Structures are given as C-alpha cells and as structure tokens.
Amino acid sequence: MSLSRRSFLGGAGALAGLGALTACSPTDGSQQSVWSTYGVGTGTYNDLAAVANTLTQVNGRQVRLMTSSTGMGRMAPLINGTADFARSGDEYYYAFEGDDEFCSPTWGPQPIRQVWTPRGNYGVLVRKDSGIETVEDLEGRNYPNLVGATSINRKLEAFLNYGGLTRADTNLVNTTYAGQIEMLKTGQLDALYQNVVGSNVEELASQYPIRWLDLSSEDPSRFESWERLAPIARPGRFTGGAGLAKGESAVNMQYSIPLTTLSTRPADEVAQLATQIHENFDRYKDATQDAKMFALDKIMFDPMVVPFHDGARSVFLDLGVWTPHMQRRHEALLDREGLLLDAWPPFLEQHREDDAAAQKWFDWKQENLPDLPPIEDLPEDDASAADTQGDDA
C-alpha cells in the first residue's frame, strides 16, 4: 500500500463527501443517533433494526440506520462524525490497529471502543448440488474475493487454510458481500461467506439446498493462521442456521459484530444505551432469529481485541459480569493504543511513499508491542465456545 500524496488526497475527498452529511448528525445523542451497519436484508441489519425500533418505541430514542456493503463504508462515518455508533465487521479492529486500508495518512490508528458485543456464527456455504462437501473440495472452485472488505477476505483465507488450501488454490471471483448470493445462484460462485441467519440466506436456502462447510477438528494446526487472519474469531458450533434441519449442527467462525463508537462519545450516553439494550431485551429477543444473541449472557468478551467504552464497562461492572481478567486485558489494550498513537507519526513520516507500508506496520507491531494478557476467568459456557446460534439442537 502506498502512502502517497495521491492516496491521501483521495481519502480526504472521501471524507469531504461524508462531511456533507454531518448536518444529519444528532444534536442530542441520548434521544437521537445515527448507526452505520450492513445492508438491508442481512442478518446484522435485521437484528440492529429490531433493537433500534424497540428503543424508539420504549425509550423515545430516534435511530437512523446508515448502510454499506463495505467495511470502510461502515467505519468511515463513525470516524468522520456522521454516525454516532457503528455495527461493523472486523474493520473496527483494523481501524483500532491502523491496519490495511487504515494504514494511510488519512486514517492511522483510531480510538475505537466496543459497546455491546452479541456473538454470532459466520461461515462458508455451498449448494448441495455443487459436489463440495469439505473445505478441501474448494480447490479449483470459484471462490469470493470481496471488494472493499479486506477483513472478510482474511477470514475467507483462514477457512481455506483449515483445509490446507490458499487463495491461489481457488479461482478468485470479485464480488460484493451483498452480490454473493445471486452469483451463487447463477453458478458464478461455488461458495459464499454469510451469517448463518438472515432473510437473504434464508431465501437462498428455500430455493436451493445448501451446506455449511464444517470446521470440526481437534487438530490445532488447522487453526494456526486464525490469530493472524481472524483474531476476533474462534471456532463455534451452531444450530438453527439457514438450511439446517432440526438437530443438525456445524462448526464455523464464532465472533461478535459489535456495536462500537469512539472513545470521545460521552460515557453517560453510552451507559444509557447499553442499559436500554439490556433492559429491553425481552421486547426484541424474538424479532429475528439472531436477536437472542444480544442477551447479556450471550455477548462476547473474548477474544477482546479493542477496549470497551467506559460507559459500557460501567454497566457491565454494575451487572456483575466484568471480571478482573477482563479489566487486565482492557487496560493492556489502552496501553497498546497509546503505543500505537505514539509510533504512528514517525512511522508515517518514514514510509509515506512505501508500497509495503501496511506490511511493515504490521511487522513493527509484532516485533515491538507486548503480548496481550489472556482472559482466563470467563464463565464456563462462554469459555467453551460451544454456544449455538439457535436453540433447536
């Protein structure tokens, strides 16, 4: 990635375009807010819409959802100030770290904070008539390369690594997250990456029998690349996914697509929002198949790769779910943020014209930043990573 003046101006132009929307930003964050997220019809959007509608009806909180099919399109409005909160993929992690698209003069490491972290399961599915039964069978097949979604492409690579494959072993096909389903229907793709629930994938399963590629294994070598490619994820078993019969299950990636904000968001506002999400759970838990994952005992604290906002942390402390090891990890992440922010300006100055800047930034962090302490005092059900997506097992 080049840190050239041209890339800087291009990014600045994008910010200017977003800035034109700032007049729509709320002036009273406790009653009005803008949340950015995935496109209409995705499971992530449907869940968030259910929560937002409930908070509007019960608490008078006016929420406008902004949608985008790209990670940058979801995160940029938050950083720019157009959105107050964002429910995004692991672009929240890359923004915090200043990696990939965020390794540029326009961005760099960002003060991202987690607010609420519902767990979910996400994986690679194929049509049953494709002849693909295992990850190994993807060799030579049409495999998605998502435009503007580096984080998902990394997870797609981690899936291949599980089967001893790399991206070079497949025929990569450029597409968008939303465009995958139609391309699978028409044979342009042999596999796609999706949340295991959601109207889009449910509709697909109603038209074509589908299979979720299973990642069940006791061999740790199959997951060696996950720390590098998918640090927010862990293997997790699910039931109740699209296309699964009652009692069927599979293992894929379990991680949170969290509701995030910036560190500068007022703590009382964030605490109020977290409290409302928790106290209204019974009102929206059945609105979508995955809304139940917003329950306090279903949210994920591990892997914790970005600090929690102080407002959210205060709520978790009051509710008795914040542990000493979580606090230790949280403080280590704050220390890491300080080191990142200190190191970024001199690094940028040195590598502004370097096409390999993103890799060199990643390597610098590996060599110079301390390891984060593990969280070893999780409740047993959370530590097991065995929670299911549905409840029909």
Residues 335 and 227 in one domain: no
Assess if residue 50 is contained within a domain: yes
Inside any domain, residue 144: yes
Here the CATH number for the domain that contains residue 269 is 3.40.190.10
Position 41 scores a pLDDT of 80
pLDDT at 323 over 70: yes
Tens-digit pLDDT profile for residues 109-118: 999 999 999 9
Mean pLDDT of the chain: 88
In this structure, the number of other CB atoms found within 10 A of the CB of residue 158 comes to 21
Hey, what are 60's tokens? 């008078």
**Does one domain contain both 290 and 312?**
yes
Instruction: Tell me the pLDDT band of 221, cut-offs 50, 70 and 90.
Output: very high
Query: Do 233 and 258 contact (CB within 8 A), yes or no?
Result: no
- 24 within a domain of the structure (yes/no): no
What local confidence, expressed as pLDDT, does residue 272 receive?
96
Q: Which of 203, 230, 256 is the last residue of a domain?
A: 256
pLDDT score for 386: 46
Looking at 1-15, 126-140, 297-311, which range is the least confident one? 1-15
- Quote the pLDDT of residue 23: 34
% of the chain residues with pLDDT over 70: 89
Instruction: Based on the fold, state whether residues 252 and 126 are members of the same structural domain.
Output: yes
Q: Output the pTM of the full model.
A: 0.82
Q: How do residues 31-64 score in pLDDT, each as one tens digit? A: 689 999 998 888 889 999 999 999 999 999 999 9
Taking residues 10-15, report their average pLDDT: 36
Q: Are residues 142 and 84 in the same domain?
A: no
pLDDT of residue 380: 65
Establish if 380 belongs to a structural domain: no
Does one domain contain both 138 and 249? yes
Crossing angle for the helix pair 71-80 and 5-19, to the nearest 10 degrees: 70
Q: Are residues 76 and 38 in the same domain?
A: yes
> Which pLDDT does position 382 carry in this prediction?
60
Q: How far from 97 is each of 131, 300, 310, CA to CA, in Å?
A: 40, 20, 19
Beta strands in 103-179 (DSSP E): 112-116, 119-127, 142-146, 171-175
Summarised one tens digit per residue, pLDDT across range 243-268 is 999 999 999 999 999 999 999 999 99
Top-confidence residue, 100 or 84: 84
* Straight-line distance from the first to the last Cα atom of the chain, in angstroms, rounded to the nearest whole number: 46
Per-residue pLDDT at 295: 97
Extract the tokens encoding 226: 């996950």
Task: Please tell me the predicted confidence (pLDDT) of residue 178.
Answer: 85
Cβ proximity of 253 and 222 under 8 Å: no
Q: Would the pLDDT of 14 be above 50?
A: no
pLDDT of residue 364 exceeding 50: yes
Query: What percent of the chain has a predicted confidence (pLDDT) above 90?
Result: 76
34 SS3 class: strand
148 or 288, greater pLDDT: 288
pLDDT of 387 strictly over 60: no
pLDDT of 199 reads 82
Same domain, 268 and 326: yes
**Predicted confidence (pLDDT) at residue 347 exceeds the cutoff of 50:** yes
β-strands 32-37, 85-87 pairing: parallel
β 142-146/259-262 pair status: unpaired
Closest by CA to 195, choosing from 389, 1, 392, is 389
Residue 329 lies in a domain: yes
Amino acid (1-letter code) at residue 168? A
The parent domain of residue 163 ranges over 121-256
The predicted structure's pLDDT at residue 341: 97
One domain, residues 331 and 237: no
Q: Do residues 268 and 331 both lie within one domain?
A: yes
The reply to whether 335 and 265 lie within a common domain is yes
Question: Where residue 376 falls among pLDDT bands split at 50, 70, 90?
Answer: very high
Q: Is the pLDDT of residue 343 over 70?
A: yes
